[in-house]
Amino acid sequence: MDGVPEPHTGWTFLTNHARVLAAIADNHSARIRDIAAHCRLTERAVQKIIADLEQDGYLSHTREGRSNTYRIDPGKVLRHPAEAGLTVASLMTLLLQDEADRATNTTTRVRPHATT
């Protein structure tokens, strides 16, 4: 089926909600189609996740012509009790910094446990 990303099997460390939020933090005017491709999700799944994030106050959007511009509430506290006190800003800082590091260091990155 065209436009549907390959499914991922197995477990991952991040939820799809975190992935979508990070994609939006990276580009506040990203299209749902682009977010879906980046996160390897369907557009419908991304729409549902954005609705969840908006309903709970983590995200809002304004309509600008035919596109949306998203705003993330950086002070919003993460939902799980194990992350009590951690904010969306702290999570996004970790995720976006890693993305930037991967983009600039892909050829020079050294594995921490690599042996010569």
Confidence of residue 20 (pLDDT cuts 50, 70, 90): very high
For the chain, the average pLDDT equals: 84
3-state secondary structure of 114: coil
d(CA 46, CA 23): 11
Read off the pLDDT of each residue in 16-21 and give the average, rounded to a whole number: 95
Q: How far apart are alpha carbons 38 and 31 in whole angstroms?
A: 11
Q: Residue 47 pLDDT > 80, yes or no?
A: yes
- Supply the DSSP symbol for 78: P
Top-confidence residue, 64 or 5:
64
d(CA 53, CA 47): 10
